[in-house]
């Protein structure tokens, strides 16, 4: 049997589950590059997913800690989806994907890894980016390091 090495995944597997909320804590820190924060709006921010489905996987999250879309104010909701649209535009320019998956997982049962702080995922997709690896090897191949993706996207928002 052949082996595929994906050593960067061990960080996610071994990471101690933190107290608090990463989507509240990261924007409070003064290190956007280390935290992969690409843009700060008035009510929401854009952050790269540290454990992406594909290169360029972004998330839009409100600063306010709420668990569901219907808990956002009209202003938060308007800016949230304006930023999601902006992510699509920037990712198209930077990576030229063939399509996108855009979604919100509300609640642990719906697949939310961070279920107490609502956020939207914007995932660029390319023809052929899904293959046998996730099915047969439970491994997803990401073709670019997070720091490189950050440098490509930083300043485009």
41: Cβ contacts below 8 Å, ≥ 6 apart: 79, 83
Which residues have a catalytic role annotated?
A: 119
CB 67 within 8 A of CB 115: yes
37: Cβ contacts below 8 Å, ≥ 6 apart: 26, 27, 45, 46, 47
Which tokens in the block code for residue 126? 């390319």
Q: What are phi and psi of 111, to 5 degrees?
A: 100, 5
43: Cβ contacts below 8 Å, ≥ 6 apart: 62, 63, 64, 73, 75, 76, 79, 80
Q: What are phi and psi of 94, to 5 degrees?
A: -80, -35
Give the dihedral sign, CA 137/126/142/13: negative
């Amino acid at each position: 049997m052949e082996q595929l090495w994906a050593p960067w995944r061990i960080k996610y597997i071994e990471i101690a589950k933190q107290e608090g909320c990463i989507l509240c804590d990261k924007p409070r820190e003064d290190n956007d590059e280390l935290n992969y924060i690409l843009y700060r709006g008035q009510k929401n921010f854009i952050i790269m997913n540290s454990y992406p489905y594909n290169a360029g996987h972004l998330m839009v999250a409100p600063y306010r800690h709420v668990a569901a879309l219907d808990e956002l104010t009209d202003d938060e909701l308007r800016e949230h989806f304006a930023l999601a649209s902006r992510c699509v535009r920037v990712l198209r320019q930077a990576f030229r994907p063939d399509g996108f998956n855009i979604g919100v997982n509300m609640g642990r049962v719906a697949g939310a890894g961070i279920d107490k702080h609502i956020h939207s995922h914007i995932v660029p997709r390319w023809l052929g980016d899904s293959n046998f690896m996730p099915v047969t090897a439970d491994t997803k191949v990401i073709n670019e390091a997070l720091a490189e993706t950050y440098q490509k996207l930083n300043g485009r928002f």
